[in-house]
Structure formats: structure tokens, C-alpha cells
Chains A and B, each alone.
Chain A
Amino acid sequence: MPQFDSTFFSSLIFWELISFGILLWVLYKFALPPILETMELREKKIRDSIEQAEKNQKASEQQLKTYEAKLQDAAKEAEGLLTEAREKSQRLLDENAQRIRTETDRLKAEATQEIDRERRKALQDIRNETADLALLVAEKVLSRSLSDEDHRRLANEALDAVASQHKN
């Protein structure tokens, strides 16, 4: 095989060592650092971005919680106010209804009393009137003996008297 021809061994080894040495040196000193740096920079940037995003998320979650708590408080407060208002209006309604009922009862009682009083008074008046009339008739009957004509006349007189008295 031509590969075992030792004529070229020395030059191959020599140039291999030189080439590889140069390659290693250039890569180590100049070629690899920028690539590695860029990669590290990118990694760092990505890591930082993720960290920042996580931090932001945490902050926004915290804020959301605060807002939710505030919202809940406000809702509770509104609920309280509403209940209070409802109670108050109910109380007012109840009071009004009570007052109206009392007033009505009072007026009704007064009216009843008035009616009763008037009725009694009327009855009294009728009784008095009737007694007077009876006395008057008796007086007339007793004072004379009367003919039929007289009777009629007397009766008419009495009625007239009553009528005139009534007119008065």
C-alpha cells in the first residue's frame, strides 16, 4: 500500500503537527471565542428575558390579586349600602302605613261618635216635640166640648200649630 511508503512519513508528520498546531492556536485564540461569546450572550439574554417575564408575571398577578380584593371590598360595600337602603325604605313604608292606619282609625272613631251624637240629639228633639204636641192637643180637647166641625177645626189648628212650630 502506498500509505506504508515511509518516504513521506517525516513530511506528513511535520506538516500535520504544524497545520494542526496552527489550527488549534487560531481556533483557541481567535476563532472560537467570538462564537462562544455570542452564544453565551444569547443564553444570558434569553435567561434574563425569561426571568424578567417571570418577574413581570408575578407582579401582574400580585396586582390582579390586589384589584380583585379591592373589587370584592367595593362589591361588599355596595351590598351593605343596598341592604341598608332597602331596610330604611321598608321601615319608612311600615311607619307610613302604621300612621295612615292610626289616622284612619281615629277619623273613623270620630265620625262614628259624631253620627251617634247627632242621632241621639235628633231622637231627643223628636221626643220633646211629640210631648209638646200631645200636651197641646190634650189642652185643646180638655178646654171645650166640641162639635164635629170643631173637631176638624181644632185638629187643623193643632196641625197648623205644629206645622208653624216646625217652621220656626
Chain B
Amino acid sequence: MQDPLHAFELHTIIPLSLFGLDISLNKATLVMWAVVALVVTFLFRAGSSRSLIPGKLQSLAEIMVDFIRGIINDTMGKDGMRYFPLICSLFLFILFSNLLGLIPGSYTVTSQLVVTAVFAIFVYALSWIIGLRIHGAKYLPGILIPPGTPGWLLPIMIPIELISHIARPISLSVRLFANMTAGHVILGVLFGLTITGGVLIGWLPFSFTIALYGLEFGIAFIQAYIFTVLTCVYIGDAIHLH
């Protein structure tokens, strides 16, 4: 039986180097380009008609825009709308990465911890930048001490808040990575069973594969949604300080 983790292996396709930095092209980088191309094509085509009575693609794009605007409004309030392009890009990049990964033979970019970690660290750093710019020196005590905390609780509260804050980028990156990896591992295992089981038994794991594929499709959306919502929550926290 094939190693279920085989699908996550990368191989250099075109070796490239920039100032000594290895930037070789591999399957994952190609999929990233495909993601960017797909998202841009989708939005350009959706936005090109500019019709007041939207077509299917335009409706889809507008539903997506409204959906993200709703998340931003719920978590950040009106001030959050300036981050709309960023949140929108993040959501669409992750969503399309998850979805493209479901195509057999493709590669799930978000199953690479380093990719999700870069996003998570970027979001976390951004929340710090926004918080420091808005609140200045009051930001650090603001995030560590929730308002109304009695003085004697401070020795307990500060470490708890500190840990929860540091856990944010870790949980953000690991959640997406683990979900994507786990889903594909299970799919790989079941498909391997199908192949080795033959026609007599193979139909059972195969039917599970189909069912799980539908589940993975939903998870692709949910994980993109969770990542986006948490991003909004973290930035919203930085704007409003609890």
C-alpha cells in the first residue's frame, strides 16, 4: 500500500535561486499561482459586467463580498472595512487553495505548515502593528489585563492572557494545516484500501472515499471561514482592545 503521506511530498521542478535563497519551483508553488490566477479571473469576470441585475458569476462574487463584509462588521465593526481587501484576499486564497487541493493529482498548499504559519504570523504581526498604532504604549497592558480585573487576580490573569495570546498564531496555523493534512491522509488511506481491496471488498472503502470527499469539500469552506473569522477577531481585538 502506498504511503498516505506520499501526497504531501514535494519535488523540485525547476531549480531557482535568488541571492543564494532557494526559490525553486515545485508543485505547491505552481498551485499557488493557479490559485492566484483563478481568484483574479473569477473576480475580474464577476466584476466586468457591472450590471445592476447581476448574472450568476456576479451574484456569486457579491454573495462572497457580502459574506466577508458581514464577518468584518460582526467582529471589527465599521472601522474594519478598510481591511476588507486583505481579509477578502486571505479568505479567497485559503479557500481556493483548499478547493484546488481536492482535485486528484493536485497539491493542497494549505497542508504545508510553513504556508499556514506564514499567514498566521502575518495576521498576528498585523494585529500588533494595528494595536500599537491605535493605542500606543497602552496596547500591551490592554491585551494582558482585561478591564475590570481586580488587582489580586493580576498574577494569574497576566500569564493566562499571555499564553492565550501567544497561542493565537500557533493555533491559527496548526488548525488549518492539521485539518487539511488529516482530511487528505484519510482520503489517501481509504483510496489505498480501495485499490488493495479489489472489486470484492474495495467498494466499501471507495464509498467512504466518496462520502469523505463531500465532507472535505465542506471542510475546505469551513476552514477558510474559520481562518478568516479568527483573523478578523484578532484584528478587531487590536482595534477595540477587548
Contacts and interface: CB of A to CB of B under 8 A. Distances in A.
A8 B26 contact: yes
Given A3-B111, A19-B33, A30-B44, A10 B118 contact: no
B80 interface: no
Contact of B23 (A14, A22, A34): A14
Interface residues of A, number: 37
Contacts of B65: 32, 35-36, 39
A38 B16 CA distance: 42
B47 A38 contact: yes
Interface of A: 1-5, 7-17, 19-20, 22-24, 26-28, 30-39, 41-42, 45
B89 A14 contact: no
A38 B50 contact: yes
B44 A10 contact: no
A27 to B, nearest CB: 5
Contacts of B35: 19, 23
Classify the interface of chain A: helix, strand, loop or mixed. Answer: helix
Nearest to B6: A2
Given A3-B114, A24-B89, A34 B48 contact: yes
Contact of B28 (A12, A20, A28): A12
Contacts of B111: 3
10 contacts: A2-B6, A2-B9, A3-B181, A5-B10, A12-B26, A12-B28, A16-B118, A19-B29, A19-B33, A20-B93
Interface of B: 5-6, 8-10, 12, 16, 18, 21-26, 28-29, 32-33, 35-36, 39-40, 43-44, 46-48, 50-52, 54, 58, 61-62, 65-66, 84-86, 88-90, 92-93, 109, 111-115, 118-119, 177, 181
A34 B50 contact: yes
Contacts of A31: 40, 43-44, 47
Given A19-B33, A28-B86, A33-B47, 6 more contacts: A2-B9, A15-B33, A16-B118, A30-B44, A37-B50, A38-B50
A20 to B, nearest CB: 6
B85 A32 contact: yes
A74 to B, nearest CB: 46
A109 to B, nearest CB: 98
Contact of B10 (A2, A10, A14, A16): A2
A41 B52 contact: yes
Contacts of B40: 23, 26-27, 31
Contact of A10 (B21, B50, B92, B119): B21
A119 to B, nearest CB: 112
A22 B89 CA distance: 10
B124 to A, nearest CB: 15
A32 B25 CA distance: 29
Contact of A16 (B43, B54, B115): B115
